[in-house]
Amino acid sequence: MLDPVMNRGPAGPCLDGLLKDFTVEVTSRDTASLKDIGSLLAPGSRVFIASLPKENPQRQTEAAVHLARQGLEPVPHIVARNIPDLGALDRHVGQLAREAGVKRVLVLAGDRDDPEGQFLSALDLLKTGCLQNHGVKFVHLSAYPEGHPRISDADLVAARRDKLDVALKAGFDVELVSQFCFDAKPIVDYAAGMRAEGLDVPLRVGLAGPAKRSTLIKYAMICGVGPSLRALKEREDLARNVMAGETPSALVDALEAAVAARPELGISGVHFFTFSSLKETVKWLNEARG
């Protein structure tokens, strides 16, 4: 049986660094992970819940309630292009707040080409005032260290600036959460670029948890992380390590070295994309804890 993984407090050398403050992500369809999650993670751990296209929002609410009853903190994705209208947004966020005590959300635009309704971007959602009306205090926003397959870098920078401006003026605590990468350089460059712009919001780094090689390649291509995927393939030893789903240790070590040398990067912790394999991620964290 795996020990519950703590994300606060004393830890071994590795977890004293970036892994001391981690979050994980699941989907409402990942019933195996949800079933075991209370025994895998320590009380208070933050668990993000993806919002899938065409999925009934009630499934996300049920997952959030389950997490709350397990003593965990649900962090649902609120995805603009999955929402039909303001009334639906209000009902969904209200239900999440009432039934699961949700105070944190990740606000996203969504990648679907056929938006369900009037909302097209995370900015559209932030401007409604709906989140603060239902007691949401903390907003996570997306970050793309390797760019986005359908959005130009200039547009990404402008969108980030606008979202941060609206969210901070609304009084939210804000943290950026990056898409997963397989190479430290684009993450470090992204963080350094933000600080050069004068942005001081924390950045949480997305990591791919252990998964099959085919799974990681599939999601890397969908999410636009091709540059670091190519760099990873060029380093065969590291490629076999990460792409086989053994551990993300090499990437964590590189990031920790960068953060130690440049604490001004403002990297707050890591976020694990578990790809329906939460147990494997927890197993690796237990091993890292020693």
Q: What is the pLDDT of residues 175-202, one digit of tens each?
A: 999 998 888 999 999 999 999 999 999 9
pLDDT value of position 222: 54
| Dihedral angle computed from the Cα positions of residues 95, 69, 136 and 62, in that order, rounded to the nearest 10 degrees | -40
Q: Contact, 237 vs 271, CB < 8 A?
A: no
pLDDT value of position 34: 96
Q: Contact, 107 vs 139, CB < 8 A?
A: yes
Tokens 């007691």: give the residue. Answer: 135
Q: Which residues contact 280 (CB under 8 A, 6 or more apart)?
A: 209, 210, 211, 245, 274
Alpha-carbon gap, residue 38 to 120, rounded angstroms: 35
Residues of the chain with pLDDT under 50: 1, 8-15, 231-232, 235-239, 242-245
Q: Contact, 23 vs 47, CB < 8 A?
A: yes
pLDDT value of position 99: 98
Architecture of the structural domain at 18-289: Alpha-Beta Barrel (3.20)
Q: Contact, 286 vs 6, CB < 8 A?
A: no
pLDDT value of position 289: 65
pLDDT value of position 210: 75
Residue spans per domain, the chain: 18-289
pLDDT value of position 148: 82
Alpha-carbon gap, residue 93 to 88, rounded angstroms: 9
Alpha-carbon separation of residue 225 from 14, 126, 230, 287 (angstroms): 25, 27, 9, 27
